Chain A
Amino acid sequence: MFEIFGIPSQALFGQLLLGLINGSFYALLSLGLAVIFGMLNIINFTHGAQYMMGAFVAFFLLQYGGLSYWWALLFAPIIVAVTGIVIERAFLQWLYKLDHLYGLLLTFGIALITEGVFRNYFGSSGLPYQMPDALRGGQNLGFMFLPNYRAWVIVFSLFVCLATWFVIERTRLGAYLRAATENPTLVRAFGINVPRMITLTYGLGVGLAALAGVMAAPIYNVSPQMGADLIIVVFAVVVIGGMGSIMGAIVTGFGLGVIEGLTKVFFPEASNTVIFVIMAIVLLVRPAGLFGRTA
């Protein structure tokens, strides 16, 4: 076994892998944000609350409906997406023409209210959510013990990310969507229902947040503030990747997960600041973000 900067390579490989796993949460969440910003021009601050709602819905489905984790993966995003669609229809649709700030303030307010309501009914310490039996246990990779669940997280989120990217960038539906963002009037003239498409896109972004929430439920604390803790980091990821860039969100999500993982080995105290340091540097060098187009 060799050493790199005084750290056994064994530990280093382990941390790299863990970083990738954390990165997959960042990627899933920032992907949803990027989709919403790219298509709707809305900075969705409710994203963290929607991630939290995903985890809570998974808990309710199990507790009161007897539906397992696998069903939750399907239903929780749909249920939370429906609440998102209601928000879009009721509030957001009036804000598209206004400054970004209005959308930001509205979604931030909704996030605070949602978290407050959940805290009022379920307390702050959180709810237990057990891991599905099929994903218990783990593999000994030689350099580390990899729990099966984490392996599942990385594979599944990679799949979801790439599928989303494919739909938006490589299919006819995605082409309509992108066209609708560029020039809604023209696309409408072709007989496409643009408002409905926008609504569904918001639903998709919200659903992605809820999906990440379901995936987080067995391994992280399911509590009302779980999203608030994460959302700031995820925003940094989106800014670094370039606001609205789908591939940028995915690549930066995974990449920053790895960088954060390495920081946890070399300088653990800085592990929650390192992303913001990188953000500052990136903004200095490339104000539009790594993958962003300058307007």
Chain B
Amino acid sequence: MKSLVSLAALAAALSCGTAQAQQITVKIGVMSDMSSLYSDIGGAGSTAAAKLAVADFQKDNPNVKVEILSADHQNKPDVGSSVVNKWFDTEGVDLVIDVPNSGVALATSEIARAKNKVFVVSGAAASDLTGSKCNANTVHWTYDTWMLANGTGKALVKTGGDSWFFLTADYAFGHALERDTAAAVEANGGKVLGKVRHPLNTNDFSSFLLQAQTSKAKVIGLANAGGDTINSIKAGAEFGIVKGGQKFAGLLVFASDVNALGLATAQGLTLTETWYWDANDVNRAWTKRWQVERPGKFPTMVQAGVYAGLTHYLKAVAALKASADGKAVVAKMKELPTDDPLFGKGTIRADGRKVHDAYLFEVKAPAESKHPGDFYHLRATIPAAEAFRPLKDGQCPLASG
């Protein structure tokens, strides 16, 4: 009898043990621009961030096995789509993460919906991903065009920059950013004096800056990205734009762009980001670990977003003990409050929008910068509730239903 009881106890303990240690295998794909203009914003740095997220998560959850794939979408929606289709169909990938370039991200989001997988966006900007094009399989983590426009636009108008001139990249992203920012400026009592639309990948901005200069606008809004923004600001420094009393507002500027410009050229630039590596000790410690794989570089908010988004995804999978049903995983992600070392506590709304604080930064002068990567003064914190587009304004069907 005694031996029977102990046998039963042993059996119970064993079955309990097997339930605890039930192996969950997850396959994730980091798709980014690995070789071109956005590769410093996401790229290999995003893959490095994903590896850190997996390593940290497995410390507490050794039963979750994660395999990471990565691919280059070359900024072409067709290339990105075929990668994602292959991942989902033949390689058993459960989650695609990052995907800078809104065109590729919108295509990926649609495939994730059709195949009931999960897509966590960190690199792409278009607020349509959680607006009219939202779906129940997509979470948009780090930032979006509405938040950039509103953060920088509103803050500058409030501090006296009430007349604007736009330098806009002449394609969908630039137009959206210009439209959203102009709306934020006007809603806060500012005026838009003019704009000029330049072709993508313009080398020389001096002509456009001369037009901005003659407009006498207090703020020159740069509704462009990457090399175009860098070239605008470089030419602006040379033509004495900032010295003449006008101010640049970088509507999409990453830490890597500031690094490329150098502080002497970028100083005084106002911009909005949701994460900065040098903001606190936790971020600095994380950056040190990240730099093991990316020596000499500084992580961007996009790469931090990959870490945080993946961490939260893995939590949801561990809670569900399954990763196959993408919709269920995303529903779980929305249900669980988010909490990670980099973005702190937050939530994911019904439309897939992750909300957290945003920060208005001003680029330091070279003399104020104490160590490499010491880029920003914090000028204001925009609370999570105000930083992103209100749920009801996004025209996302998930938000109403």
Contacts and interface: CB of A to CB of B under 8 A. Distances in A.
Instruction: Say if A and B assemble together.
Output: yes
Interface stretch (B109-117, B230-238, B281-289): B230-238
A229 B197 CA distance: 18
Nearest to B234: A219
B240 A145 contact: yes
A268 B197 contact: yes
A123 B39 contact: yes
A213 B39 CA distance: 23
B25 interface: no
Interface residues of B, number: 44
Given A124-B40, A268-B197, A271-B198, A21 B206 contact: yes
Given A119-B35, A223-B260, A268-B197, A126 B230 contact: yes
A18 interface: yes
Contacts, number: 122
B196 A221 contact: no
A221 B234 contact: yes
Interface stretch (B54-62, B142-150, B261-269): B261-269
Contacts of B128: none
A252 interface: no
Nearest to A147: B238
Interface in B186-202: 196-199, 201-202
B238 A22 contact: no
B199 A272 contact: yes
Interface string B252-276: 0010110111101100000000000
A22 B226 CA distance: 21
A119 B38 CA distance: 11
Interface string A4-17: 00001011001100
Nearest to A119: B35
A116 interface: yes
Nearest to A263: B207
A144 B40 contact: no
Interface stretch (B80-88, B131-139, B208-216, B375-383): B208-216
B204 interface: yes
Interface string A213-239: 000001111010110011000000000
A150 B41 CA distance: 31
A145 B43 CA distance: 40
A19 B39 CA distance: 32
A261 interface: yes
Interface in A123-149: 123-131, 138, 144-145, 147, 149
Interface in B31-81: 35-41, 43
Contacts of B201: 229, 272
Nearest to A216: B203
15 contacts: A19-B207, A119-B35, A119-B39, A124-B226, A125-B259, A127-B260, A128-B260, A128-B262, A128-B265, A150-B238, A268-B198, A268-B208, A269-B170, A269-B199, A271-B199
Given A124-B43, A138-B240, 13 more contacts: A15-B207, A18-B210, A123-B256, A125-B254, A125-B260, A150-B238, A221-B230, A223-B230, A265-B211, A268-B196, A268-B207, A269-B198, A272-B202
